[in-house]
Structures are given as C-alpha cells and as structure tokens.
Amino acid sequence: MKNNFGATILCLTLLFCLLGGSAVPAKEMENVSISKGKVYINLRDADVKSVLQIFAKATKVNIVAADDVTGKVTVTFSGIAPKEGLEAVLRTKGLDWFEESGTIFVSTKKIMRTYYLANAKPTDLQTTLTTILPAGSTVTADDAYNVLVVQTSSDYLPRIERLIKELDVPPIQVMVEAKIIEIRSSNNANLGLDIKATKATNANDVVQTKNLSGRPTDNPAQGLYGQIFKAYTDVNVESYLSAMATNTNYNVIATPKITTMNNKEATILIGAKYGYKTTVISDTTTTQVVNFLSVGTSLSITPNVSKNGLIRMKVAPKVSEGSVVGDLPQENTTETKNEVVVNDGQTFVIGGLTKDKDVQTDYGVPFLMDIPLVGSLFRKSVITKEKNELLVFVTPHIVTKEFLDSMNKPKDELEKKSAEQKAKLIH
C-alpha cells in the first residue's frame, strides 16, 4: 500500500511540474473523488490549473497548460465521465485544447487547421463554415490552391471536419437542350397605280409612270389588276391599278445545348450587343463606363437538382430589339420568367411570346410622290404586317456516367466504322 501511495504522490508531483501551478490543496482534495470511472467534484473558486491536475489523474492522460491559462472556477460534478468533465471546464473558461501523442495541450489561443479540397470550391464553403463557427473564428479560402484555412476552438474541429467531408463532393452538372422556334406570320399589301399618256398623232410623245403597279403581262401575273383606257382628241390615257397581299409563314430554329453546374446560371444570346457610355460623377473624379444593350433572342436557365432527382429550373426567355440613340439605349422587348419542376429528360414548353410589327415602304417618282393628294398617283406603297411568336422547348438532363456513355455511343460507332474503312483500304 505504501508503494502505491508513493507512486500516486510522484505522479501528482510530475503533473504539478508540467502544469506549472501550485499543488492541489488538501482541503480541496477532500471534495474530490473518483469511483467506477466517474468523477465527483464540489469545488468553489478553485484554481483552474488545480482542477486540470484532478482531471489528469482521472483521465490518466498528461495535461500541459500554457502560461496564459489562469483564473478561478467553481465546479460541481455528481458523477461525470472524466473527458466530458474536462471539456466542460475548458469551455466554461473559454480555453482551447488539442490532444497529440497522448498529451492534452491547453491554451487560450485558437487552433489553425488547413484542409485541401478535392471537389468543392473553397469560396463556396467559406460562408457556410463561417456562419456555424463561434465568434473570433476565421475561415480563409484560396481557390488558386483549392484550400481552406480554419482557425477556431478545438472542440469545433470535429464537426467542421465532418461538414467539410460531407460538402466536398463532385458537383452535379446539368446539360440543357433548348429548341427555340420562331414563327413569323406576315401580311404584305402592295398597292400601286401606273398612268400612261400618249399623243395620238405621235407615238413617241409619251408621259408615263412605270413599275408602280404590275401588269397583266407580268410573268407570272400576280395580284388584282384593273385597266382604264380613255381616248381624247389627240391624247390616249392608259391607267393600270394593281393590288396584292401575301401571307408568309416560316420557322427559324435554333437548337443550342449547354452544360452548367447545379445552381449556376447559364445564358444563350442569339442577337447583337450595342455599346453605350455612362458617366459616373463623384466628388473628385468623373469617369465613363461602357455598358452593352443585348438585343435578339436570349434564354437564361438556372437548374437546381434535388436529392430525389427532380430538377427545379428557373427559365427566362426574351425576344427584344433596340438601338442606342445619343448614348441612351432604346429597347422593345417581350420576356417572361418561369420556375418549373420536371423529371430528368422531361421536356416543357414556353409559348405565347408574340410581337407585332408594321413596316411601310414607299416607291415612286421623286418630288411628285410627295405632293399631297396627287402624290398617290406617282407612288407605290408596300405595307408589311409581321407577327412573331417564340416557342421554347427545354429538356434538362442530369449528367451521369450512363448519360455520357449514351452521348458518346454514336461517336464511338462512327470512329469504329472509320477504322474499318481504313483497314479495308490498306488491305
């Protein structure tokens, strides 16, 4: 018994030297007991290093405390696991610790850890980690080296590591196949009048307008014609009136395919961009910024893939035309924003985007065509009424190994046939 008691005293003495504090007062030790792996403590305003000595004995693990570990603590445990009791004391005092090679190091400083990511982008995880860490912690992201540097309390490190492991997975990609069909319905009206006056005694004395109307002899003849012939004493007057209307329907089809990551926007623009300047005036400087007006047919898509394989998509088709006048953009647009939920490979349609446009073109004899009232006799007017409707067919596909294999199958078959043809030519 004496030998065992001496060994215990020696162990406590060594721990006292490691902790750099005073020995546990005998009076305090009367309120400390360890039974069946549980710790029973009832201390008031005890030195924190003295309490650490008690837990070093209970946990049978070396504990080293830094010089900045100071203060008093009041502890009451009615049977607690040694490690749990130690963590509770350290958290109460705002201390940090980590275990290495069988020794627990205690300090007031935060622990820094570096995590190299295999799949995720560090800046994408930075905000998530920062929101769950305690005050005073920092998370630094470096996308160039694909690394996260976390400085926080050691008790948060296990949950941070688990969270990083769960989030550091290959991102889901979605390939979107879009078919943009534009249906144009035009109604063209052609109205013109030709007049010819010929002197009866001299066929070379002629005054006439030409090609403002069609003629029955046109090959092929088109439209509705009327001929008026009037003979005066020495002048013959001929008039030709023509009227024609045409309807034309045709399709302009675009079938782009784009691949984007989950929750990342992808855009398609079939049209033009017009630049214009914007002046920004501050207290000290005046700068000009070049902006662009995008016109034409555009489509913006943002997919979101759920765990059960459904695809939630934000789709924004737009048909616009415009110009820049005096650095002021002018735009006439038809657009809509939709959010739908579809299955992988399911097609949905967006339609009803219509736009009406009237264009009138005048042909005629210079000066005479501009005379009020009479000018209509020397002018031909072509009026085009155009109505455009846009239909958008969208089919999303989740990019998996099976999907990629199905996409590459036609390519592999072509390469195989090409190799067979080359082999035949060689032999």
Query: DSSP for 319-351?
Result: EEEEEEETTEEEEEEEE--EEEEE-TT--EEEE
Picking from 65, 80, 108, the residue at the C-terminal end of a domain is 108
Task: Spell out the SS3 assignment of 213-249.
Answer: CCCCCCCCCCCEEEEEEEECCCEEEEEEEEEEEEEEE
Query: In the prediction, which pLDDT does 147 show?
Result: 93
Alpha-carbon span 54 to 144, nearest angstrom:
47
Residue 9 maps to a domain: no
The CATH number given to whatever domain includes residue 134 is 3.30.1370.120
- In this structure, the answer to whether residues 341 and 306 fall within a common structural domain is yes
Give residue 185's pLDDT: 66
In this structure, are 278 and 358 located in the same domain?
yes
Comparing CA positions, the residue from 316, 328, 269 lying closest to residue 296 is 269
CATH number of 41's domain: 3.55.50.30
Per DSSP, what are the bridge partners of residue 425?
none
User: What local confidence, expressed as pLDDT, does residue 311 receive?
Assistant: 92
Is residue 424 in some structural domain? no
Residues 278 and 373 in one domain: yes
Domain assignment present for 287: yes
Same domain, yes or no, for 257 and 392? yes
Predicted confidence at residue 5, as pLDDT, reads 41
Which parts of the chain register pLDDT below 50? 1-23, 220-228, 248, 250, 427
Q: Are residues 265 and 327 in the same domain?
A: yes
Q: 38-47 and 328-335 as β-strands: parallel, antiparallel, unpaired?
A: unpaired
This prediction has a pTM of 0.51
Find the radius of gyration of the CA atoms of the chain.
43
The H or E element that residue 8 is part of is helix 2-19
Q: For residue 29, what are the contacts with CB-CB under 8 A and spacing of at least 6? A: none
- Which residue reads 């209970």 in tokens? 58
pLDDT of residue 403: 77
Are 18 and 69 within 8 A, CB to CB? no
Within this chain, do residues 218 and 76 fall inside the same structural domain, yes or no? no
**What is the DSSP code (8-state) at residue 410?**
H
* Domain shared by 217 and 90, yes or no: no
In a domain? residue 416: no
The answer to whether residue 412 is domain-embedded is no
What was the pLDDT predicted at 116? Answer: 93
Q: How far apart are CA 397 and CA 347, in angstroms?
A: 10
| Residue 95 and residue 118 in one domain | no
pLDDT, position 302: 92
Same-domain pairing of 281 and 366: yes
Q: From the CB of residue 212, how many other CB atoms can be counted at a distance below 10 Å?
A: 23
Q: Looking at the structure, do residues 117 and 196 belong to the same domain, yes or no?
A: no
Range of the domain at 235: 191-244
**Is 329 within the bounds of a domain?**
yes
Tell me what pLDDT residue 235 has: 62
Our count of domains for the chain comes to 4
In a domain, 93, yes or no: yes
- Cis amide bond preceding 220, omega within 30: yes
Asked if residue 139 and residue 60 are part of one domain, the reply reads no
Q: Are residues 151 and 283 in the same domain?
A: no
> Nearest Cα to 147, choosing from 122, 183, 124?
122
